[in-house]
């Protein structure tokens, strides 16, 4: 397993191209990778995305992408964890990996006294009904990319310009608002991303042991 910290305000199109190339070129021996980053402000429309769910993009670009799901927002202060995983090699199905991604967030928050939950028919993680983490994957020949976005310490107002994940009036929240002991370390994309990546890697290793 390789973990790469790619930094802040990464260009979405370039990152997507890199994920697609990595997935197309990998072979049976290629190590899986986790990429930790944040993006410059952007709305991304998944494969099921409907134009009507972008209410008023304003000056924020809207791009089509190849992950599952509908529209979401990425921006500074949000941890994006891209999971470039050979699911077939790991013996794991897509639904199982989605559940593992959700559980990594739920466990991280539970260790700090914050209750996270799933919502039936709406992938992601929620705190008191407000979405704190979004998920979306693309799988090609048993190998996946994309992953999860966890709201750390960010401007949430752009979410009001869309129906997040195609759900009108869906409230969103962030770690800063949920964790009473939040401090500067809790806004570290690298530190929290590594925590998620280690949890997920343990899950993969458990399947292969």
**Domain range annotation of the chain:** 2-208
Task: Identify the bridge partners of residue 131 per DSSP, sorted by sequence position.
Answer: 126, 172
Q: Taking the model in full, what pTM does it have?
A: 0.94
pLDDT reported for residue 149: 97
User: What pLDDT is recorded for position 31?
Assistant: 96
Q: Is 165 a catalytic residue?
A: yes
Of the listed 10, 144, 165, 178, which one is catalytic?
165
Structural fold of domain 2-208: BirA Bifunctional Protein; domain 2 (3.30.930)
CA distance 95 to 78: 24
Going from the C-alpha of 41 to that of each of 44, 76, 114, 187, 204, the distances in angstroms are 10, 7, 27, 17, 32
Burial class (CB in 10 A: 0-12, 13-18, 19+), 171: middle
pLDDT by residue for the chain (209 residues), tens digit each? 899 999 999 999 999 999 999 999 999 999 999 999 999 999 999 898 888 999 999 999 999 999 998 999 999 999 999 999 999 999 999 999 999 999 999 999 999 999 999 998 888 999 999 999 999 999 999 999 999 999 999 999 999 999 888 888 889 999 999 999 988 877 788 889 998 988 898 888 775 54
């Amino acid at each position: 397993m390789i973990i790469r910290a790619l930094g802040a305000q990464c260009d979405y199109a370039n990152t997507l191209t890199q994920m697609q190339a990595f997935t197309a070129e990998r072979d049976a021996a290629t190590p899986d990778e986790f990429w930790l980053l944040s993006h410059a402000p952007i709305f991304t429309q998944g494969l099921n995305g409907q134009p009507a769910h972008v209410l008023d993009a304003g000056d924020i670009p809207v791009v089509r992408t190849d992950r599952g799901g509908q529209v979401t927002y990425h921006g500074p202060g949000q941890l994006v964890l891209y999971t470039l995983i050979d699911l077939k090699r790991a013996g794991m199905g897509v639904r199982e990996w989605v559940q593992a991604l959700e559980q990594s967030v739920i466990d991280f928050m539970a260790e700090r006294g914050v209750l996270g939950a799933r919502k039936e028919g709406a992938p992601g993680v929620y705190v008191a009904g407000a979405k704190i983490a979004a998920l979306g994957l693309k799988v090609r020949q048993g190998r996946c990319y994309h992953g999860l976005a966890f709201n750390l310490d960010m401007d949430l107002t752009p979410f009001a310009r869309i129906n997040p994940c195609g759900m009108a009036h869906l409230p969103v929240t962030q770690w800063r608002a949920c964790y009473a002991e939040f401090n500067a370390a809790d806004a570290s994309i690298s530190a929290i991303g590594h925590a998620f990546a280690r949890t997920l890697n343990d899950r993969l290793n458990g399947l292969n042991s």
